[in-house]
Structure 1
Amino acid sequence: MLALPMTLNTTAETETAKIARGLRERDTELLADLVERCQHRLVRYLVYLTGRREHAEDLAQETWIRVLQRGSQYNGRQRFDPWLFAIARNLAIDDIRKKLKAVQTASLPNDGDAMLLLPSSGPSPFEAAARSEDAMRLAGRLQILPPLYREALLLRFQEELSLAEIAQVVGAPVTTVTSRIYRGLAALRSAFEESDSHGV
């Protein structure tokens, strides 16, 4: 039974090494495959960060340009997806900083938690796509969570990233990510209990 996990690990390492080599060589076929495989999840993640689909699609395109420009920086030691999400997150934060500076409404915190300043605009794509009452209730409760908790929960349970991968994406220690997930789940539980007690 020990041979199976080792085989899977070797396969994953081979895939990441292939991606790293392809990015260094600017392999357009590989890039097209990566876009096809990751685009939906990337746009979905950026929609959660920005609140606007059109803007998320623009940032996704910019993310792929950065992947092409900086592909040599991907070393292939970890999965590709967390590296991609980290680029997208940094672009979203940079964009928020530019917009806030342009309108001179506030200065951003130095820790990169710019999403704290974003208002929620209308129903999220998660809510629009929800096909069941439970999914709609979950989407509504997620929207009221602080953005840092919501992001950690989405990366963990929707995108199925490991704690280490989430830490890589958000640029925080694993202990901080664990805390955000724990607190996010506690806040989500409280939101459900409160709505259940009010009959909502």
Structure 2
Amino acid sequence: MQPDEKPTPDETALAAAARAGDAEAFAELVRDARPKLMGFLHRMVGHPDEVDEIAQETLIRAWEKIGAFRGEARFSTWLIAIAGRIAVDRMRKAKRWRAEAQVAYANMCAASPDLSGEVMAAYEDPAFAYEVREHIAYCFTCVGRSLPPDELAALVLRDVTGLSAREAANALGISDSVLRHRLSAARQSMTDKFDGLCALVNKTGICHQCKGLRALAREDRKGSPLPDIAGFAERCAMVREAPPDGAMAPLHDLFWRRTAEMEEAGLGSPEPDSRCGEDDDGKEDTSATAGPPADEPDRGRL
């Protein structure tokens, strides 16, 4: 069983000062906790605008309620608990995404010079590099948006953020048994969805986007080879390792904004029409140099 993370003596002192009204002490607590807060929100929500809005609302509520922070857990855990409840409330009111949202977006890109042009412009950014673990993490959250928000929160808190069972249950205001039920349901649902979707898991999976996007990158920007993902636990480990603000962040921000628009409007077919990452016979292209030359991108196969 994973132990609860206890506050450091310095954090305890800063928390006491913040409870007494010291805004600078509160700001220092936030600076230390912000990476964990933002990491949680990126994996829970994904969409950059929503992440920023929820983070801002979290900090406002935290300052308003700082007197209630007893310091029994890390300040970052307390912030994540506030953020988690805000995120769940917002996501309950929003339209749940299709598990195949990425496939639908790829189809729309393949049919639209404007959409595919946006993607290629992101590839041309000098700072861009393809990193497969970052894209696996993006996919995790995108597919996660098809889960009931309560189940997704349990999954992200335990399997990605790394809270103990007691911390996660307390953060969500539920019992240990309810947490276990939601976590089990979320793991099984995500396993089933990825088994049908992801070609890194199952050769019959309909989504080859990891391969297709890597093929579009310049040879010196392709990153590490595509991994074989043995199971859901291994996928979660990759998600934990991936930075939310890495080299692919601008491309993923574009994906989030366009996919959100399409899911809200119900656009795009979830059937794989774009053939992203497949060869001309409709089979997975296993060539190490798959894709067009760097100076001649094939925009029809995004």
**TM bucket by the smaller chain?**
0.5 to 0.7
1:170 corresponds to which residue?
172
Structure 2 counterpart of 1:35, from 30, 33, 54: 30
Taking structure 1 as the reference length, what is the TM-score of the superposition? 0.66
CA distance in 2: counterparts of 1:139 and 1:46, whole angstroms: 10
Amino acid in the other structure paired with 1:87: I
Structure 1 stretches lacking a partner, 5+ long: 97-113, 124-128
The answer (yes or no) to whether the contact 2:11–2:29 under 8 Å persists in 1 is no
Taking structure 2 as the reference length, what is the TM-score of the superposition? 0.46
Q: Does 1:132 align with 2:132?
A: yes
CA distance in 2: counterparts of 1:143 and 1:93, whole angstroms: 11
Amino acid in the other structure paired with 2:52: E
CA distance in 1: counterparts of 2:191 and 2:203, whole angstroms: 12
- Alignment: residue pair count: 170
Q: Does 1:198 align with 2:200?
A: no
Q: Is the alpha carbon distance of 1:174 and 1:116 closer, same or farther for their aligned partners in structure 2, counting shifts above 3 Å?
A: farther
1:71 corresponds to which residue?
66
Specify the structure having the higher radius of gyration (Cα). 2
Q: Is the alpha carbon distance of 1:157 and 1:120 closer, same or farther for their aligned partners in structure 2, counting shifts above 3 Å?
A: same
User: Which structure has more helix as a fraction of its residues?
Assistant: 1
Deviation at 1:51, TM superposition (A): 5.6
SS at match of 1:144: coil
Q: Is the alpha carbon distance of 1:198 and 1:67 closer, same or farther for their aligned partners in structure 2, counting shifts above 3 Å?
A: same
The answer (yes or no) to whether the contact 2:55–2:83 under 8 Å persists in 1 is yes
CA distance in 2: counterparts of 1:58 and 1:170, whole angstroms: 20
CA distance in 2: counterparts of 1:68 and 1:58, whole angstroms: 16
1:115 corresponds to which residue?
92
The answer (yes or no) to whether the contact 2:92–2:149 under 8 Å persists in 1 is yes
SS at match of 2:7: helix
The answer (yes or no) to whether the contact 1:16–1:77 under 8 Å persists in 2 is no
Q: Which structure's relative contact order is higher, taking Cα pairs within 8 Å and 6+ residues apart?
A: 2
The answer (yes or no) to whether the contact 2:88–2:150 under 8 Å persists in 1 is no
Provide, for residues 42-65 of structure 1, a one-character-per-residue CA deviation record: whole Å limited to 9, x for no partner.
244445555642243233223222
Spell out structure 1 runs of 4+ moving beyond 6 A.
Answer: none
Amino acid in the other structure paired with 2:12: A
CA distance in 2: counterparts of 1:142 and 1:130, whole angstroms: 22
CA distance in 1: counterparts of 2:157 and 2:87, whole angstroms: 16
CA distance in 1: counterparts of 2:169 and 2:50, whole angstroms: 25
CA distance in 2: counterparts of 1:185 and 1:140, whole angstroms: 15
CA distance in 1: counterparts of 2:18 and 2:96, whole angstroms: 36
CA distance in 1: counterparts of 2:48 and 2:194, whole angstroms: 27
Q: Is the alpha carbon distance of 1:16 and 1:156 closer, same or farther for their aligned partners in structure 2, counting shifts above 3 Å?
A: same
Amino acid in the other structure paired with 1:169: A
Q: Provide the aligned C-alpha RMSD in A.
A: 3.5
The answer (yes or no) to whether the contact 1:19–1:76 under 8 Å persists in 2 is no
